[in-house]
Amino acid sequence: MTADATGPRPTPQLDPAALCDLTENGDGPRLLDVRTPGEFRTAHIPGSYNVPLDTVREHRAELLHHLDEDVVLICRSGGRAAQAEQALAEAGLPNLRILEGGVLAWETAGGPLNRGQARWDLERQVRLVAGGIVLLSGLASLLVPGLYLIGTAVGAGLSVAALTNTCAMGILLSKLPYNRGPRTDLKSVIGALGAHS
């Protein structure tokens, strides 16, 4: 599929097998994992750098000076990586690629992962919170008429999240200490990226 001058350009994808081939000898592309530090600590592709999506958005101009054109963006399943690709492309870094299917596809394909303490990923947390809100508002509406509308609002929010490929609840949950872990030190990341050059 090609993009015309007025439409969005297609997001470049790299499948897990191709990335595995590129990283096999240690001279592959730079891997930027844009998940939360908590998700990164749970499991990440060896050699990847954790630069959470918020950090990419806030410091894309600084990151631009330390990245070459051979960068693969990684997240859980591809959505956040696409948002990071858009932010970096708008800052002037062309030819970025996204790991198709993210860490989930990488793991399914048998790619190596560095593992840490197990924790729930953001998608599972969103399902728990959204489902809990809908369930509780539905039960509480038996006592207080109209509370079911809270569940309706959550359903509308999830529909918007699916249509826009963004998730306000996921963004809010990513701010919790459970998901943040230690803050990403931008100077350390930039130093590591510079050392990779």
Residue ranges of domains in the chain: 13-119+182-196, 122-174
pLDDT of 11 above 70: no
Give 2's pLDDT tier (boundaries 50, 70, 90). very low
| Residue from 28, 35, 16, 120 nearest 81 by CA | 35
pLDDT at 182: 63
Q: What is the pLDDT of residues 124-140, one digit of tens each?
A: 888 899 999 999 999 99
Is the Cβ–Cβ distance between 47 and 89 less than 8 Å? no
- Name 90's Cβ contacts closer than 8 Å, sequence gap at least 6: 60
Residue pLDDT, tens place only, 12-63: 898 999 998 888 876 778 899 999 888 898 899 999 999 988 888 888 888 8
| Tally of CA atoms within 13 A in the half-sphere of 25 that contains its CB | 4
Q: Does the domain spanning 13-119+182-196 belong to CATH 3.40.250.10?
A: yes
Confidence at residue 99, expressed as pLDDT on a 0 to 100 scale: 95
**What's the pLDDT at 136?**
92
Mean pLDDT of 3-14: 61
**Mean pLDDT over each residue of the chain, to the nearest integer:** 83
More confident residue, 147 or 181: 147
- Side-chain half-sphere exposure of 36, counting CA atoms within 13 A: 21
pTM to 2 decimal places = 0.71
pLDDT for 196 beyond 60: no
